[in-house]
Each structure stands twice: as C-alpha cells, then as structure tokens.
C-alpha cells in the first residue's frame, strides 16, 4: 500500500487539506466505504492486488469503461485532423489510463481504481449565462450535433509529466456558437459534477472547493485548439480521463483541461477556479505552459514523458502551440 509514500511530483493531500481532515483521512474513507456497504476485507484485497502486482492492460481498460448513448455508435474512430502531430512518440494507451489526475477519485494518479461507481451515462450539462440561447445538452445531442475529429495533442501537467495522446472531439467554439454568446461575455466558466456517492475523492477531501472548476477567456475558448473531447485513442472516453466530455487546452497546464463537465457559463467576470482557490500563489488563472516561469515546487524547464521519468525533453513555450495561440497574448 503506497498511501504514505510521497512521490516528489505528487501534491500531497496534507498540503491542501486542513490538518484535522488530513489526520482523519483513513477514517473518512472507511466511513464512506461502510456507508456504501463495502467491507474492509474486500477493500484490503483489491488494494493488495493492485498495489503489489502490475495491473494488466485489460484490467485497466475494463475498470475505466464507460457506457455511452446509442448515438455514439459508429462515431469512433473519427477522422484525424492532419494538422496536428506530436513530434514525439505517442504515449501507450495503458500508460495514460493508469496515471491520471482526477481528484474527485484519487490524489495519487490511480483514479482508474476508484471510478467504479461513477455514472457518466446518462449525462446532461447546461450551457448558459451571457448568451442568447442557453440550453441543456445531453450526450445524444452532442453526438448528433457535432462532427467529431481526432487530434494528436501533447499534454503537459504542471507537475512536469507529459504525454502525447489522440483525443476525439470537436472545437469548443462550435458548442459556444450554438448558444450565441453576447458581447458582454468575456469569460467561460466550467464546472465538473459534484456527486460524493460516486466519487470517493470528494469525501476524502470534504473541504476542497468542489465541484472542480476552471475557466478561459472567451478569446481562448474560441481558439481553434480548444477541444471538447468525448474520446481518446479512437474510443469513447474512459471514466478516469473525464467521461463523458472534457476540455482539452494543450497550450496550458493540464489542470485547465477540466474533466466530466456538468456546466458551462458565459460571464463578464473572471471565474474562480479550483486550484486557484485552493493554492492561489501556485496556480494562476492563465496557466500557459512556459519553461521560463517556475512553479514554486517544480522548475518548468524540463518535462518527462509517461511512463518513464528518465525520458526527458525541454519544455517549449505554449507547449509548442505558439503558432495557434501566440496571437492571443501579444
């Protein structure tokens, strides 16, 4: 069991959780599991199995598999947008699926082991605020309304790990056009679901500012790179990657790419965001990838590719997407 082993790139729970809550974390977890009727023995066994032997590709894949609506049928794989290439080898599917950040489930990258109760289908999200045609979408609407494409994007987490993965999705701006933003809208605010009974990480850190939230300027949201992704590796999105729909903004640090979106709001004020609320001096709103600007705990000059920390590369400003987004900031 690796609960107490601190890996240097992890944000330890004790650093962002009030001490009282942190000391009681095992109690919270046990209470939660007891409430669900899961006995200590079965949890112990699964922890032993997953902690001591390397999970197979199939175990990881099955754990993450998410139900999808009928309209998703025959939409995968989607045609690839040839403008985008990694410039590096693609990350293996299992390596990306095994090492994810999804604090609603776990703070230790192993969220694939905790997504069993998460129900991403059926799913609706509302798009509202300063727009002429606010409305709710379900995933059937999404699959029927938008043309899907595959994009090979680099991903860069602020903790310095990186990956190259093919997302399936459609430009965020296509969705925004559907609701007709008003000129007064300057920002787009995003929120994740907030269902503690399906996501044990929420109960483990009850004082975190749930639901997870993020934001972009409208100009950033309208940039062609900003993608709403419903799949990865030519298949519907696994739960731990943010089923059934997530944001991907590859020129920004990974925490901006909010998963499992439940609400999108056009607003005239910069929205508060999860990480900026929790640790404001470490996580800004803009959060563009920049090798020159160090995070207090991580130099951003270099990065390493999953799953191998010795496979290191120099970090590139805007994660190498300056030709698409540089104009937004000059």
Ligand X SMILES: Nc1nc2c(c(=O)[nH]1)N[C@H]1C(S)=C(S)[C@@H](COP(=O)(O)O)O[C@H]1N2
Residues of this chain that interact with ligand X (CB under 6 A) are 96, 100-104, 157, 192, 212, 241-242, 254-255, 257-260
Pick the closer one to Mo ion by CB: 101 or 319: 101
| 3-class state of residue 263 by DSSP | strand
Picked from ligand X, Mo ion, none, the partner binding residue 102 (CB below 5 to 8 A depending on kind) is: ligand X
What six digits make up the tokens of 292?
């020159």
User: Between vectors from CA 128 to CA 123 and to CA 131, what angle results, nearest 5°?
Assistant: 145
- Quote the longest CA-to-CA distance of the chain: 58
- Would you say 256 and 319 are in contact if contact means Cβ atoms under 8 Å apart? no
What is the bridge-based pairing of β-strands 161-171 and 302-305? Answer: parallel
Report the C-alpha gap between 136 and 172 in whole angstroms: 15
Token reading at 321: 């997407």
Stretch that binds Mo ion, among 64-72, 228-236, 240-248, 253-261 (CB under 5 A): 253-261
If contact means CB under 5 to 8 A according to the sort of partner, which of Mo ion, ligand X, none does residue 192 touch? ligand X
230 binding partner (options Mo ion, ligand X, none; Cβ < 5 to 8 Å by kind)? none
Containing 202, the helix (H) or strand (E) segment is helix 200-204
Q: Which does 261 bind (CB under 5 to 8 A by kind): ligand X, Mo ion, none?
A: none
Of 64 and 254, CB closest to Mo ion: 254
Choose, by CB under 5 A, the member of 103, 114, 233, 255 that binds Mo ion.
Answer: 255
Paired with 25 in beta bridges are none
Decide if residue 157 touches Mo ion (CB under 5 A).
Answer: yes
Helix and strand numbers (H, E) in the chain are 12, 12
With binding defined as CB under 5 A, does residue 254 bind Mo ion?
A: yes
When the beta carbons of 100 and 168 are compared against ligand X, the nearer one is: 100
Picked from ligand X, Mo ion, none, the partner binding residue 190 (CB below 5 to 8 A depending on kind) is: none
Determine contact, residues 150/81, Cβ cutoff 8 Å: yes
Q: Is 181 or 242 the residue whose CB approaches ligand X more closely?
A: 242
- Out of 50, 91, 100, 101, the only residue in the binding site for Mo ion (CB under 5 A) is 101
Choose between 96 and 266: whose C-beta lies nearer to ligand X. Answer: 96
Nearest alpha carbon to residue 272 among 197, 187, 157: 187
List all residues 6 or more positions away from 216 whose beta carbon is below 8 Å from its beta carbon.
187, 188, 190, 226, 249, 256
Under rule CB under 5 A, which residues in 60-89 are in contact with Mo ion?
none
Residue 212 interacting entry, from Mo ion, ligand X, none, C-beta within 5 to 8 Å by type: ligand X
Q: How far is the CB of 141 from ligand X (least distance, A)?
A: 21
Cβ 317 to ligand X shortest distance, Å: 18
Q: Considering the rule CB under 5 A, would residue 244 count as an interface residue with Mo ion?
A: no
User: Which single residue is written with the structure tokens 């799913």?
Assistant: 123
Shortest Cβ 307–ligand X spacing (Å): 12
| Euclidean distance between CA atoms 143 and 182, whole angstroms | 25
Instruction: Evaluate the CA torsion angle 139, 204, 299, 275 in order and state its sign.
Output: positive
As measured in angstroms, the least distance from the Cβ of 257 to Mo ion is: 8
Which residues of the chain form contacts with Mo ion (CB under 5 A)?
Answer: 101, 157, 254-255
């Amino acid at each position: 069991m690796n609960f107490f082993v601190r890996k240097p790139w992890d944000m330890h729970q004790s650093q962002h959780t009030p001490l009282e809550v942190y000391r009681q974390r095992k109690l919270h977890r046990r209470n939660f599991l007891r409430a669900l009727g899961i006995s200590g023995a079965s949890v112990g066994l699964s922890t032993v199995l997953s902690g001591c032997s390397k999970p197979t590709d199939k175990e990881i894949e099955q754990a993450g598999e998410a139900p999808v609506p009928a309209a998703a049928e025959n939409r995968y794989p989607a045609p690839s947008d040839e403008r985008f290439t990694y410039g590096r080898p693609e990350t293996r599917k299992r390596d990306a699926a095994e090492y994810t950040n999804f604090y609603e489930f776990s703070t230790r990258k192993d969220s694939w082991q905790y997504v069993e109760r998460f129900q991403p289908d059926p799913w609706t999200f509302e798009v509202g605020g300063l727009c002429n045609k606010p409305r709710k979408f379900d995933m059937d609407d999404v699959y029927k309304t938008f043309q899907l494409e595959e994009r090979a994007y680099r991903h860069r987490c602020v903790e310095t790990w990186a990956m190259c993965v093919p997302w399936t999705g459609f430009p965020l701006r296509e969705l925004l056009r559907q609701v007709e933003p008003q000129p007064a809208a300057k920002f787009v605010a995003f929120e994740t679901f907030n269902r503690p009974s399906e996501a044990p990480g929420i109960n483990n850190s009850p004082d975190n500012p749930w639901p997870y939230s993020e934001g972009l300027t409208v100009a950033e949201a309208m940039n062609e790179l900003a993608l709403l992704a419903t799949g990865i590796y030519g298949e519907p999105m696994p739960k731990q990657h943010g089923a059934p729909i997530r944001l991907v903004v590859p020129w920004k640090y990974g925490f901006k790419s909010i998963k499992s979106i439940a609400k999108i709001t056009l607003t005239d004020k910069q929205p508060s965001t999860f990480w900026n609320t929790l640790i404001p001096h470490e996580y800004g709103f803009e959060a563009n990838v920049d090798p020159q600007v160090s995070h207090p705990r991580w130099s951003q000059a270099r990065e390493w590719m999953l799953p191998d920390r010795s496979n290191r590369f120099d970090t590139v400003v805007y994660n190498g997407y300056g030709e698409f987004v540089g104009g937004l900031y000059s």
